[in-house]
C-alpha cells in the first residue's frame, strides 16, 4: 500500500507532518509513505541516513496557504503539494492522500482530480468528534453549506458505512441534527429530510439535539455543512476555553497549585479523551478516491493516526462499499 | 412596576419559581410581583403569613406542558398561566411577564397576545451566553428556523440596542455567525446578510466563527434560529459533559479526592462563570411588550435574575427605543 502525505499543509508543516510520516513508516512497514513537497525542507527534517526504507519523496514546488481561495489556488498551483499528492491517487501511484492543509483546497483538488462517486451529488466532510462514549461521526462539517434533503440522505448512507467499516460499530445509530425531538420540528430542510431517512436501509434513530451530542447518544450525526461547521468549531472553542479557565483557576493560589498537581493525571485523561488527534482524520466522503482530511493544527500523533485511518479505508475497500450500497438508496434519490 | 410571573412553567415549577418570586419581592420593594397559576399550589409554597406585601396572585387553572404543540396549546388553553400572564401585559395590568415554561408557547402567547413591533417581521429569541469575557448575546436561538437576510439585520439592530441598554455595553461589537472570516464565506443567507450589516448604523465587526464565541470575541452574535439553537444546546451539553467527566476523573482515587477538595473553590468559580442562571433570562425581541424567557431548568436564582432583567427592560424603555431606532434601518428593509 502506498500513502501520499502532503508534507507542506498544516499549521505545523512540514516539521510535524514529516515526524508523523516517519512514525507511520516505522510502524507500518508494509506501507510505502510518500512525502509530497519541497525536497530540501523535507530532507532537512528527515535528517541523516537513519530513514526507514519505506519512506520516499515526491517533489512539489508550490504550497496552497490557508488564506487562498481554494478552487482558484488548486487550478493555478498545479505543482502544489496537495494537487500533486491528489494526482498520485488519480494516477494510481498512491492508494490514498493525507493532508492537514487547507480543507477547501483539499476538497477542490479531490473534486477536480478524483471526481465524485457516481450517484453522489455532493461530497461531505466528516469529522470524528470525541464524546463521553468515544468518537462519533458528524457530517457534513463544511463541504456544502446549503444542502438539500437528498444530500443529507447520501451523507447518512456514507456515514453509516464509514462508522461500520472504519470505526467498527455494528448497526450504527444514525441521527438527524435538529432543534427538537419530534419529526415535525426544525427548519424546512430537517422537516423534509426526516421522512426520507426513515425509508432508507440504515438504523435511523430520529432527531438529535445539540445537548445530546457530547454524551455520545448517536454514532453518526447528519446535518447541513454550515451548522455542522459551527457545531464543530464551537465545541473546539468551548473545550479550549474551559481548559484554559481550569488551568487558571486551579493554580491561582499556592494551596490550589498543590491540589492541581495531584489531580493533574485525571485532567490529562480528560484531555486525551477529548483529543481529536487520537482519531487522526477522516476521509472526504463521496469522492472517487481516498483523501483523508486532518485538523489544521495536526501534530505528529494526528498525522500518524491519519495514516492509520487511510490504511483502514484502503483495506476495507470502503469506496467500493459505497458504490455497492448506492442502488439500495435509489428510491429516495429519484 | 408590576411583573407577572408564570408560576407553573419550567422543570422546577411551581416550587423554585415561587421561591425566586419571593426573593425578588423582598429585594425589589418598589415592584409588585404577581404569581400567575393555580392558587392552592402557589399558596402551599408561599406558606404562612410572612409574605411580603408586594406579592400577589392571579389565578390560572391550566398549564401548557413542554410536550404540547405551542401554538395549538396557547389557542386552546385560554386559562393557562402563560396566556393569562401575557394577557396581563396586553391589558396593562403588568409591565412584563417572566416564564421558564415552554419557549414555543411563550412565543406563541406573545405573538397572539402582544403582537409584533411595527416594522419587525420576525421576533427573535435572544440568549445570554456565558463566555470568558462575560455574558454575550446570541440571537436568534430558535424563534425562526428559516430566516431571511432582512430578519438577521433586524436581529442585529435589536441585539445591539439590548446589549447597550441592558448589558450596559458601549458601542457593542455585532458579528455575523459564519464558517469563515471573509465576506464571501458561508451559506447563501450569510453571504447576503453580510453586505446589509455593513450598511446599518451598528458596530459591525464582520464574521465570527464558532471557536471564537466562548472567548467573548463579539458582544452580539447574529444567526438563523436553527443554527443558534444547535450552538446553544451543544455548548450546554458539552459544558455539562466536561464537568461530569472532571468530577469523575478527579475523584477516582483517594489521593485525587484530597487534591479535588483543595481545588474545588476554583472549579466552583468556573461553574459560576458559566452559569446561565446568573443572567436569568432575556426578552423575546420584536414583540410589543416585555416577555422574558428563562431556561426551562431555572431555579430560584435564575427566576430572581430574570425579574431583574424584566425590571431593566421596563426602566430602560427598551421597546420604545427599538421603535425609535427602526426608521434608521429602513434603507435595507426595502
Please spell the DSSP secondary structure of B102-169, one letter per residue.
-HHHHHHHHHHHT-BPTT-SS-EEEEEEEETTEEEEEE-SSS-SS--HHHHHHHHHHHHHHHHHTS--
Q: Is the pLDDT of residue A221 over 80?
A: yes
- Residue B90, pLDDT score: 97
Closest residue, chain B, to A132 (C-alpha): B241
- B291 bridge partner residues: B97
Grade residue A331 by pLDDT with cuts at 50, 70 and 90: low
- Residue A193, pLDDT score: 97
B177: which chain A residues are within 8 Å (Cβ-Cβ)? Answer: 230
- Residue B97, pLDDT score: 98
Which residues in chain B come in under a pLDDT of 70?
A: 49, 330-334
Q: Beta strands A124-131 and A220-222: pairing type?
A: unpaired
The answer on A230 and A302 residing in a single domain is no
The number of beta carbons lying within 10 Å of the beta carbon of residue B176 is 25
More confident: A7 or A242: A7
The answer on B129 and B116 residing in a single domain is no
Residues of chain B numbered 109-148 and touching chain A (CB < 8 Å): 131-132, 142, 145-146
**Chain centre distance of CA B152:** 17
Identify whether B143 is preceded by a cis peptide bond (ω within 30 of 0): no
pLDDT for B67-94, tens place per residue? 899 999 999 999 999 999 999 999 999 9
Tell whether A230 is within 8 A of chain B (Cβ): yes
The number of beta carbons lying within 10 Å of the beta carbon of residue B184 is 9
The answer on A193 and A134 residing in a single domain is yes
**For the residues A178-189, what does the mean pLDDT come to?**
91
Question: Rounded to an integer, what distance in angstroms lies between the CA atom of residue A317 and that of residue A321?
Answer: 6
- Domain range for B168: 124-278
Residues of chain B numbered 141-200 and touching chain A (CB < 8 Å): 142, 145-146, 177, 179, 186-188, 190
Are residues A231 and B231, on separate chains, in Cβ contact within 8 Å?
A: yes
Question: Rounded to an integer, what distance in angstroms lies between the CA atom of residue B94 and that of residue B90?
Answer: 8
- Residue B255, judged by CB atoms within 10 A of its CB (0-12, 13-18, 19+), counts as exposed
Q: Could you tell me if residue A249 is inside a domain?
A: yes
The answer on B67 and B144 residing in a single domain is no
**For the residues A120-133, what does the mean pLDDT come to?**
92
User: What secondary structure letter does DSSP report for B98?
Assistant: E
The answer on A73 and A149 residing in a single domain is no
Q: What is the mean pLDDT of chain A?
A: 92
B244: which chain A residues are within 8 Å (Cβ-Cβ)? Answer: 132
Q: Identify the residue whose cell numbers are 464509514.
A: A162
- Residue A333, pLDDT score: 47
The answer on B264 and B250 residing in a single domain is yes
Question: Rounded to an integer, what distance in angstroms lies between the CA atom of residue B20 and that of residue A1?
Answer: 66
Helical pair A149-165 and A188-199, crossing angle rounded to 10 deg: 50
The answer on A98 and A147 residing in a single domain is no
Q: Is the pLDDT of residue A137 over 50?
A: yes
First to last CA, chain B: 38
The answer on B292 and B214 residing in a single domain is no
B188: which chain A residues are within 8 Å (Cβ-Cβ)? Answer: 145-146
The answer on A23 and A109 residing in a single domain is yes
The answer on A272 and A182 residing in a single domain is yes
- Residue B331, pLDDT score: 52
B215: which chain A residues are within 8 Å (Cβ-Cβ)? Answer: 237, 241
Q: Is the pLDDT of residue A251 over 50?
A: yes
8 A C-beta contact, residue A194 and residue A251:
no
Q: What is the CATH number of the domain that holds A171?
A: 3.40.718.10
- Residue A334, pLDDT score: 44
- Residue B330, pLDDT score: 65
Are residues A256 and B262, on separate chains, in Cβ contact within 8 Å?
A: yes
pLDDT for A6-59, tens place per residue? 999 999 999 999 999 999 999 999 999 999 999 999 999 988 767 899 999 999
Q: Could you tell me if residue A330 is inside a domain?
A: no
Are residues B263 and A273, on separate chains, in Cβ contact within 8 Å?
A: no
Are residues A235 and B236, on separate chains, in Cβ contact within 8 Å?
A: no
First to last CA, chain A: 38
Q: Give alpha helix (H) positions in chain B.
A: 15-27, 39-46, 70-76, 81-91, 103-113, 149-165, 188-199, 225-249, 254-273, 300-315, 318-325, 330-333
Tell whether A208 is within 8 A of chain B (Cβ): no
pLDDT for B296-320, tens place per residue? 999 999 999 999 999 999 999 989 9
Q: Is the pLDDT of residue A1 over 70?
A: yes
The answer on A254 and A140 residing in a single domain is yes
The answer on A159 and A94 residing in a single domain is no
A197-A118-A151 Cα angle (round to 5)? 30
Residues of chain B numbered 34-63 and touching chain A (CB < 8 Å): none
**A63 to A36, A39, B32, B182: CA distances (angstroms):** 11, 13, 67, 21
Q: Could you tell me if residue A325 is inside a domain?
A: no
Count the domains in chain A: 2
B270: which chain A residues are within 8 Å (Cβ-Cβ)? Answer: 242, 245-246, 249
Inter-chain Cβ pairs, chain A and chain B, closer than 8 A: 189
- Residue B50, pLDDT score: 77
Are residues A249 and B259, on separate chains, in Cβ contact within 8 Å?
A: no
- Residue B334, pLDDT score: 44
ipTM: 0.90
- Residue A211, pLDDT score: 93
Amino acid at each position: 500500500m502506498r500513502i501520499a502525505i502532503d508534507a507542506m499543509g498544516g499549521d505545523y508543516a512540514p516539521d510535524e507532518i514529516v515526524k508523523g510520516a516517519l512514525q507511520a513508516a516505522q510502524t507500518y512497514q508494509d506501507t510505502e509513505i510518500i512525502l509530497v513537497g519541497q525536497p530540501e525542507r523535507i530532507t532537512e527534517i528527515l535528517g541523516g541516513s537513519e530513514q526507514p526504507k519505506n519512506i520516499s519523496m515526491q517533489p512539489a514546488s508550490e504550497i496552497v496557504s490557508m488564506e487562498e481561495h481554494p478552487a482558484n489556488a488548486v487550478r493555478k498551483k498545479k505543482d502544489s503539494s496537495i494537487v500533486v499528492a491528489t494526482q498520485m491517487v488519480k494516477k494510481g501511484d498512491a492508494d490514498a492522500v493525507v493532508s492537514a492543509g487547507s480543507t477547501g483546497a483539499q476538497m477542490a483538488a479531490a473534486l477536480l482530480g478524483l471526481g465524485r462517486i457516481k450517484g453522489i451529488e455532493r461530497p461531505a466532510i466528516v469529522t470524528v468528534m470525541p464524546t463521553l462514549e468515544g468518537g462519533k461521526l458528524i457530517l457534513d462539517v463544511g463541504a456544502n453549506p446549503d444542502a438539500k434533503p437528498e444530500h443529507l440522505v447520501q451523507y447518512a448512507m456514507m456515514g453509516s458505512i464509514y462508522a461500520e467499516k472504519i470505526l467498527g460499530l455494528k448497526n450504527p445509530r444514525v441521527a438527524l441534527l435538529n432543534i427538537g425531538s419530534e419529526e415535525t420540528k426544525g427548519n424546512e430542510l430537517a422537516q423534509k429530510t426526516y421522512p426520507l431517512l426513515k425509508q432508507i436501509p440504515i438504523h435511523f434513530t430520529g432527531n438529535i439535539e445539540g445537548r445530546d451530542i457530547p454524551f455520545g447518544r448517536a454514532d453518526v450525526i447528519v446535518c447541513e455543512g454550515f451548522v455542522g461547521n459551527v457545531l464543530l468549531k464551537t465545541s473546539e472553542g468551548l473545550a479550549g476555553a474551559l481548559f484554559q479557565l481550569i488551568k487558571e483557576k486551579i493554580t491561582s493560589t499556592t494551596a490550589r497549585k498543590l491540589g492541581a498537581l495531584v489531580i493533574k493525571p485525571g485532567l490529562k485523561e480528560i484531555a486525551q479523551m477529548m483529543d481529536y488527534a487520537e482519531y487522526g482524520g477522516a476521509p472526504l466522503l463521496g469522492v472517487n478516491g481516498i483523501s483523508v482530511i486532518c485538523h489544521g493544527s495536526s501534530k505528529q500523533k494526528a498525522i500518524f493516526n491519519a495514516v492509520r485511518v487511510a490504511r483502514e479505508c484502503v483495506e476495507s475497500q470502503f469506496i467500493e462499499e459505497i458504490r455497492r450500497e448506492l442502488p439500495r438508496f435509489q428510491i429516495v434519490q429519484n
